[in-house]
Structure 1
């Protein structure tokens, strides 16, 4: 049974959502102290977090960053803010997905199932059960640790960053279409905003730049993305 931490200060919404998720066999926990969310997170050790943006004391972006300092669990934002900028901020602050209010309960369940399947299910198992290092020249990815290394410097990747970079590395000889990336990273593609992929690509691009690999992911207009493997002499 997967444990879900629901961080929502609207009691009515929280009760409805919690009741619905319990019908699907999830163990749902509601935050009791909105000024100590990180402490409760560590106590509960959930498998997934549903996180509102408008909260007492500090907003959801702040708490997402706090959770990311101690965990890589999937975090799905749920918010009445429908503009693109807030969805971009949710991803940039460490979120995995975004659901706007009012939402259909079945969409919440579908996205939740997809996130759990990606993090803990068949795909995750097949991705991490082989401890072999992914290597491309001096660029290394360590699947079990979700880390990327370049010239003895390592950075940690999120699950989606790992999947995205792995796909680009395994297909470095060609352009990987946006549709391919969307289908690889999200099961419920029809629920994914196209901008979400762009944000995730930019996050991987920035991490590679932090390692010293500037401009390593090229955008091919109208087609998709390609890894620019200039360190291989390409």
Structure 2
């Protein structure tokens, strides 16, 4: 991790932005705001931040729009902020590829903890770990976030590749939901159970393009298991 981490905060509440900037400076994070909410992508491209925090309700276009736009170009981690109390907002955020979701009002200690957890997961999780894993005839590239077979390849988000890694580390064994949540978000009390479900479903959908989705099996009331094909040494 670089000494100074650049964080882009797409937030039109100037008071909240100033507070985030002040609090994050104590952790050696460089916080940047948006000058023109019509040009979020232009400013994102120039800055190249390590993490993006996006409010849902914004001038011109909402946060969902900008998340879609960023995801067409980058897998940079994204955390959503929202003052709206709608479960569908969280589901939508995860489906668009967000890494976490925080509802306003929030404690800054929680925001900082979530940011630190995401940064550790995205930029440190594969330290001293094999970059490539073999699974059911597929090659899982932990560095490039790619799963490849003879039929093609699919790119995963940081969350998805990490979940797959956790399951592959214990192939043919059940990994509990709580264990995955703890590994993924460091502290399960900061994350809803539904968030994990959304990420697992999205992972399966992508793996289905390679006929691998069925090999991630749900064990009701227990967790998930990455199975092996019987006729392959996975």
TM-score (normalizing by structure 1) = 0.92
In the alignment, which residue of structure 2 is the partner of 1:208? 207
Shift of 1:24: 1.9
RMSD of aligned Cα (Å): 1.7
Aligned partner of 1:83 among 82, 86, 111:
86
Residues 53 and 80 in structure 2, CA contact (< 8 A), matched pair in contact too: yes
Q: What's the CA shift string for 1:108-158, capped at 9, x where partnerless? A: 11111111111123x24234xx33x21123121012211001333111111
In the alignment, which residue of structure 2 is the partner of 1:66? 69
In the alignment, which residue of structure 2 is the partner of 1:151? 150
Aligned partner of 2:19 among 11, 16, 20:
16
Where does 1:1-234 land on structure 2 (aligned, <5 Å)? 1-121=4-124, 123-127=125-129, 130-131=130-131, 133-230=132-229, 232=231
Secondary structure in structure 1 of the residue aligned to 2:128 = helix
Count of equivalent residues: 230
Mean CA deviation greater in 168-177 or 155-164: 168-177
Shift of 1:13: 1.2
Mapped to 2, the partners of 1:155 and 1:107 lie a distance apart of 33
Shift of 1:57: 1.5
Any unmatched runs of 5+ in structure 2? none
Mean CA deviation greater in 182-191 or 38-47: 182-191
1:140–1:233 CA distance, 2 compared to 1 (3 A): closer
Mapped to 1, the partners of 2:232 and 2:154 lie a distance apart of 24
Any unmatched runs of 5+ in structure 1? none
Residues 137 and 232 in structure 2, CA contact (< 8 A), matched pair in contact too: no
TM-score (normalizing by structure 2) = 0.92
